[in-house]
Amino acid sequence: MVKRFYAVCRRRPAAVLFRKLTLFLLPTVTEMDLRTQLKEGAARINTAIEDDLRLLAADHEPLLVEVLRYGLLGGGKRVRPFLVVNAAELCGRTGPECEKLAIAFEYLHAATLFHDDIIDNSALRRGKAAIHQKFGVVAAILAGDFLLAHSMEIVGEYTGRRGLLSFHLATKGMVDGEFEQLRRTDTTSVDIEAYDRTVMRKTGLLIDSTGKRTGNDLHEGKMTLPLLCALECAEVRERLLEVVADPGIRRRAESLVEVRALITRGGGFTAARREAEEAMQRGIDALALFAAPEAAAARDRLAALGRFVLERER
């Protein structure tokens, strides 16, 4: 840690160094602490969702509420609500209203999953039948549509027009990113800059991590960062392009094993990992802007979450 801070000192102005020093001196949250806090936070969010579903049950069709309950209460770490609640705490806001706002982001995420599972023809979600498999495609589409509208209603109620506008822009960006990825499906003419732009729209705007099964993107002909990085290695480029460009080849079970080996040999996973570490560090650096003592706990939790997401086994 000391060596790292010394390296930073040699090339950063004093104001930036002071903020960095505050981060080095912050008490660290251990992975066990973070797991406990995620679990406790998820329990509170689940309670908020249960309460909201009870209110919805009074005015909406029982089948709709049944579908929502099945899709929303099937587990998960609730990382998005955790981010919302802690971001609010950074700005001095705490309490049930923050948790109510946080479930809007979980609803938006769930809506995208309901629809994505139809698009990807996924049979399972978190170890159980996907919504469209259990209730039918029409029910899954309509339930996702309802969650989109309901999430916007919640954001508008708690943040007003300005917050709702940001939520709308992020949501439209996610859809735009999906269309950009759709346009690039089955093509290998994607560079890292284009990939980053798509991910920022789909993922960066509202942290849309879908928990896909291993190899799903390869099967669908979508370019990933490890693959793009490996394509820069002349030794494996030709064979990778042969596999990825041909749907008949890439959808074979043995092709996933071969592609993983080629990406490893081409340094793709190592390069992608390095990109992720740099992105995480930029996020941790940005937390130094919230220097108030009352923001310290949330700042520490968010920094720990960044490390946890990077280090956890998938």
* Same-domain pairing of 85 and 152: yes
pLDDT category at 206 given cuts 50, 70, 90 is low
Strand-strand pairing, 124-125 and 128-129: antiparallel
The domain that holds 47 is classified in CATH as 1.10.600.10
The pLDDT tens digits for 30-65 are 888 999 999 999 999 999 999 999 999 999 999 999
Query: Is 259 a domain residue?
Result: yes
CA–CA gap between residue 147 and residue 72 (Å, rounded): 10
Q: How many domains does the chain have?
A: 2
* Same-domain pairing of 231 and 278: yes
The pLDDT tens digits for 239-275 are 999 998 888 888 888 998 999 999 999 999 999 999 9
The pLDDT tens digits for 96-109 are 999 999 999 999 99
CA–CA gap between residue 208 and residue 199 (Å, rounded): 9
CA–CA gap between residue 266 and residue 242 (Å, rounded): 15
Query: Is 209 a domain residue?
Result: no
CA 260 to chain centre: 23
pTM: 0.79
DSSP, collapsed to helix, strand or coil, labels residue 126 as coil
* Same-domain pairing of 176 and 260: no
* Same-domain pairing of 61 and 173: yes
* Sole residue written with tokens 């579908």: 67
Q: Containing domain of residue 229, as a range?
A: 214-295
The answer to whether the CB of 281 falls within 8 A of the CB of 72 is no
* Same-domain pairing of 47 and 177: yes
* Same-domain pairing of 155 and 220: no
Query: Is 202 a domain residue?
Result: no
Query: Is 300 a domain residue?
Result: no
pLDDT-above-90 percentage for the chain: 58
* Same-domain pairing of 250 and 177: no
